[in-house]
Amino acid sequence: MRILVLGATGYLGGHVAERLRALPGTRLLVGGRAPDADVPLDLASDRPRDLAEALASAAPDAVVNCAGATGGDAVTLAEVNARGPAVLCAALRSAAPAARLVHLGSAAEYGPGVPGRPVTESDPAGPAGPYGATKLAGTVAVMASGLDAVVLRVGNPVGPGAPPTGLPGRVAALLAQAGDDPDATLRLGDLSAHRDFVDVRDVARAAQVAAGAPGPLPPVLNIGGGEAVPVRELVRRLAAAAGFRGRIAEAGGSGSARSAQVSWQCSDIALARGVLDWRPSHSLDASLAALWAAAGARPAGLEGVPAP
């Protein structure tokens, strides 16, 4: 089976590619702007005709689109998260109409949740900011494409390699900088929000299963941990995994805009369990231990990274 992964140099895409590379009977193809890409392409700027030519030469049985932008201005978000999937679908209809498309969406497409009520795939979307809105536009393009496609709406990924642009990765980098200094202080923003964290390796497994699952799949599947975890608790557990002996200082009211707009989020993952026989296999503590094991020995650069 020939599976083309787009966005393989990113956090989610890297784990998806690693899993598929080790899967017997699978030929992994990597698409992107990197010089060594098997299929050179750029979803943010390529014309559908040019992209179709590249896809036709690759002849994939399945495409997993992990390409996406989590930060940047509205134009960047729209180019990658909204235009990208639309152009990809147009090219696939022309070059590989029978290929299965697995597109990684985001739970941010749902917007604010209701405390105590996990959101289901049939609930209306109501993103609270440009990121969620552009990811939703990409989802709509995939759903309207007429292709054999499924959107995996991913919760908050955590685990080895988490980048410092997200809170788990940033906190891990700060802990690595602090070392074993008992007088160190971690200065963070408001940690009162609740989030649904899912191990990045479980996300990769969901993408792999969805790419090879027989028959048509539902248009959208939630991929999350299925539990709303206080962000404050995640920070406490990660600090414990790192053996941090200092102090955690939380500045109320100075967290991210998304935390203020979306204070509670949790995904109902029953449909993915029933359709893909998928469920999380890593506990949050195991995810945090793996994150720390990967990040603890090498502090990440934090210049230009906004406070969580």
Q: Which CATH superfamily is domain 2-157+199-224+266-280 in?
A: NAD(P)-binding Rossmann-like Domain (3.40.50.720)
pLDDT at 100 over 60: yes
The pTM of this model reads 0.93
284 φ, ψ to 5°? -60, -40
pLDDT at 169 over 90: yes
The three-class DSSP label of residue 250 is strand
Cβ contacts of 233 within 8 Å, gap of 6 or more = none
Domain definitions of the chain by residue range: 2-157+199-224+266-280
pLDDT of residue 180: 87
pLDDT at 304 over 90: no
pLDDT of residue 283: 97
**Least trusted range by pLDDT, from 70-74, 119-123, 159-163, 224-228:** 70-74
Cβ contacts of 10 within 8 Å, gap of 6 or more = 66, 67, 68
pLDDT of residue 253: 53
